[in-house]
């Protein structure tokens, strides 16, 4: 990804505007009354501003008076040329501006750059008055809550080079008036609710370098004329409803560095001319209905590092020879559910230094593959295959591995001998035939990086080990195994846990009161075990809980009477010894409440 122009401009502003406002030298013309009124009109329509930006908009001089995000630097003195309001980079979710986008900004007649981005709660439509901003070169309104359609009148702002409206709630079609935007270099309409086809008018945007229409509901074919926009470097149409074939014309875009047309309804073959995309480094064709053989010419793509062909209907064979010699830059390969029957992991994948290898549902058989450069792998998905045999040392040398998924295979080794690399964040081995105890995975050495462990639907036995403090587990799924013993009260050490499933095991003992300390818990399934005693009142403290099941245990006594426990469906509590109270029938007198203690 490139840095958009306006990011650069931000730096210029912060370095130049501040000295101006603090110096005694007269500022470049005191702000014009009309521009000041236009800005104050915007300020008045923002009802809440947690960025602190608008609080600086006071005093008479919007040009030299320290108004954050406002700059006057053009030939006309005292006129606002740049308005750049960007959400400060911060992880805090509480930073926003709430209100509507005031049409008064359309009175900033000398404005060249307007960036109001990441404010999240700025709503309303894009004002028609913006058609008066005839000097505008950059219009960036990303990540707000703007609604309605894209006004046709924007098509009359002939100086526009950048239009970026992504991450809003815009509806309707791309206005045909965009035919006039001959200077447009970047058009980003991603993540909205836009519909219709790509209008033929866009073929006059000869200088277009970046077109992102992803995550909308556009339909129709991908038009041939896109192949004539020779300066395109970035073409992203992912997650829409485009149908028809991949136009051969796209293969003449020799400057293209990313072509992402995944998650659409495309049919037909990958054009054999695909090898002409000399500059392409990211090629995403996944989740379509592409068929036929994968063309050999893909191997000519010298710069390709990310190849994602997953979820299609391709047929064998892969052009193995060509791939062995070609693709020198490859780092990420995804052939999952592509229709291919690979049998074994191809040598051109196994012997290369790759970072992400995803080969789920490729009909792979036999023992797990022997990767020549295991240390380079960060993500490995071999789920939904027929791998058999052991796993004990398979992961040990993958010292960079963060995510591993080998679920739904026929692995049948003792997991007590498994050796996990330190960096591992996600371990998903569900639905195999693994046996042995959990002690080698959940122990005092479990990595702080580990967030997801799914070992459900295996033959694991033994107890749930004690949990030490400081773990960062978010998901622990041990359902459908043969685990016995109690739930350790040290479960409260898993302070980040969101999902805890130990259903369908042989767990006995009581539910520890300390389980109520897991304040992030959203999903709790203890069903089909031999758990006795009461459901502790302490669980009422878990406000995040969305789903819980205590079904088919030997629990007794009153269900905690408070939300959400008293409004979960009765099925969450049935088949126990003597649970009572909402949503089950009321408890009969005080005795029944005591029985479980």
Ligand X SMILES: *[C@@H]1O[C@H](CO)[C@@H](O)[C@H](O)[C@H]1NC(C)=O
List residues binding ligand X (CB under 6 A). Answer: 106, 128-129, 131-132, 206-207, 231, 262-263, 284, 286-287, 308, 310, 332, 334, 356, 358, 370
Minimum CB separation of residue 374 from ligand X in Å reads 9
Minimum CB separation of residue 241 from ligand X in Å reads 14
Q: Which residues contact 100 (CB under 8 A, 6 or more apart)?
A: 45, 122, 123, 124
| Angle subtended at Cα 130 by Cα 125 and Cα 135, rounded to the nearest 5 degrees | 150
Q: Which residue's CB is nearer to ligand X, number 397 or number 496?
A: 397
Q: How far apart are CA 521 and CA 526, in angstroms?
A: 13
Q: Which residue's CB is nearer to ligand X, number 369 or number 596?
A: 369
Q: Which residue's CB is nearer to ligand X, number 53 or number 163?
A: 163
**DSSP states of 187-233 as a string?**
EE--SS---S---GGGGG-TT--EEE--SS--EEE--GGGGG-TT--
Q: How far apart are CA 311 and CA 22, in angstroms?
A: 59
Q: Which residue's CB is nearer to ligand X, number 155 or number 536?
A: 155
What are 149's two structure tokens? 């359609």
Q: Which residue's CB is nearer to ligand X, number 228 or number 588?
A: 228
Minimum CB separation of residue 149 from ligand X in Å reads 16
Minimum CB separation of residue 297 from ligand X in Å reads 21
Minimum CB separation of residue 391 from ligand X in Å reads 12
Minimum CB separation of residue 263 from ligand X in Å reads 5
Q: How far apart are CA 75 and CA 249, in angstroms?
A: 44
Minimum CB separation of residue 372 from ligand X in Å reads 6
Q: How far apart are CA 460 and CA 413, in angstroms?
A: 10
Minimum CB separation of residue 456 from ligand X in Å reads 22
Q: Which residue's CB is nearer to ligand X, number 239 or number 440?
A: 239
437-455 core/surface letters (b: 16 or more CB in 10 A; e: else): bbebbbeeebeeebbbbbb
Chain position whose Cβ is nearest to ligand X: 207
Q: Beginning with the edge strand found earlier in the chain, give each strand of the sheet holding 265-268 in spatial order.
A: 219-221, 241-244, 265-268, 289-292, 313-314
Tokens 């210029």 sit at which residue? 12
Answer whether 462's CB lies under 8 Å from 438's CB. Answer: yes
Minimum CB separation of residue 332 from ligand X in Å reads 5
CA-to-CA dists, residue 87 to 52, 100, 477, angstroms: 10, 16, 38
Nearest CA to 13 out of 60, 95, 80, 110 is that of 80
Q: How far apart are CA 360 and CA 317, in angstroms?
A: 17
Tell how strand 210-212 and strand 234-236 pair up: parallel
Minimum CB separation of residue 394 from ligand X in Å reads 9
Q: Which residue's CB is nearer to ligand X, number 103 or number 512?
A: 103
Nearest CA to 535 out of 589, 474, 487, 477 is that of 487
Q: Which residue's CB is nearer to ligand X, number 266 or number 535?
A: 266
Q: Which residue's CB is nearer to ligand X, number 409 or number 527?
A: 409
Q: Find out whether the peptide bond into 446 is cis, omega within 30 degrees of 0.
A: no
Q: Which residue's CB is nearer to ligand X, number 222 or number 478?
A: 222
């Amino acid at each position: 990804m490139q840095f958009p122009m306006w990011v650069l401009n931000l730096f210029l502003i912060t370095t130049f505007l501040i000295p101006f406002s603090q110096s005694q030298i007269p500022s470049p013309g005191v702000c014009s009354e009309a521009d000041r009124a236009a800005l104050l009109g915007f300020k008045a329509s923002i009802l809440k501003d947690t960025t602190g930006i608008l609080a600086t908009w006071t005093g008479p001089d919007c040009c030299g008076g320290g108004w954050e995000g406002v700059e006057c630097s053009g030939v006309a003195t005292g006129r606002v040329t740049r308005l750049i309001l960007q959400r400060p980079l911060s992880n805090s979710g509480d930073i926003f501006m709430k209100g509507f986008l005031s049409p008064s900004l359309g009175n900033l007649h000398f404005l060249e750059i307007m960036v109001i981005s990441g404010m999240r709660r700025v709503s309303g439509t894009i004002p028609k008055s913006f058609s008066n901003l005839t000097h505008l070169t950059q219009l960036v309104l990303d990540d707000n809550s703007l609604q309605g359609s894209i006004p046709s009148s924007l098509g009359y702002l002939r100086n526009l080079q950048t239009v970026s409206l992504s991450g809003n709630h815009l509806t309707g079609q791309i206005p045909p008036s965009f035919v006039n935007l001959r200077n447009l270099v970047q058009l980003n309409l991603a993540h909205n609710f836009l519909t219709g086809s790509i209008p033929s008018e866009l073929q006059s945007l000869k200088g277009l370098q970046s077109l992102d229409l992803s995550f909308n509901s556009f339909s129709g074919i991908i038009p041939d004329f896109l192949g004539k926009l020779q300066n395109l470097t970035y073409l992203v149409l992912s997650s829409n409803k485009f149908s028809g074939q991949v136009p051969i014309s796209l293969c003449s875009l020799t400057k293209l560095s990313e072509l992402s047309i995944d998650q659409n309804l495309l049919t037909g073959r990958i054009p054999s001319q695909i090898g002409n995309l000399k500059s392409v480094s990211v090629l995403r064709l996944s989740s379509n209905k592409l068929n036929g053989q994968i063309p050999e010419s893909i191997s000519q793509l010298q710069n390709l590092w990310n190849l994602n062909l997953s979820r299609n209907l391709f047929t064998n064979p892969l052009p193995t020879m060509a791939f062995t010699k070609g693709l020198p830059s490859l780092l990420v390969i995804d052939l999952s559910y592509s229709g291919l029957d690979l049998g074994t992991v191809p040598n051109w994948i196994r012997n290369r230094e790759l970072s992400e290898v995803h080969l789920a549902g490729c009909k792979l058989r036999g023992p797990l593959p022997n990767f020549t450069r295991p240390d380079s792998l960060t993500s490995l998905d071999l789920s939904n295959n027929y791998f058999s045999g052991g796993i004990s040392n398979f992961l040990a040398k993958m010292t960079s591995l963060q995510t591993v998924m080998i679920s739904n295979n026929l692995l049948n080794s003792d997991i007590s001998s498994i050796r996990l690399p330190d960096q591992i964040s996600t371990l998903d081995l569900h639905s195999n035939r693994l046996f042995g105890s959990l002690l080698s995975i959940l122990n005092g050495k479990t990595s702080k990086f580990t967030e997801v462990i799914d070992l459900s639907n295996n033959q694991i036995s033994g107890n749930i080990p004690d949990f030490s403090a400081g773990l960062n587990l978010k998901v622990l799924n041990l359902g459908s195994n043969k685990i016995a013993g109690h739930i350790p009260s040290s479960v409260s050490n898993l302070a980040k846990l969101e999902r805890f499933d130990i259903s369908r095991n042989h767990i006995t003992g009581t539910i520890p009161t300390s389980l109520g300390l897991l304040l992030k818990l959203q999903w709790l399934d203890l069903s089909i075990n031999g758990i006795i005693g009461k459901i502790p009142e302490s669980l009422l403290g878990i406000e995040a809980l969305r789903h819980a099941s205590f079904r088919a245990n030997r629990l007794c006594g009153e269900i905690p009477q408070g939300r959400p426990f008293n409004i979960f469906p009765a099925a969450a509590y049935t088949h126990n010894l003597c649970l009572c109270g909402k949503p089950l029938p009321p408890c009969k007198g005080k005795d029944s409440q005591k029985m479980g203690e």
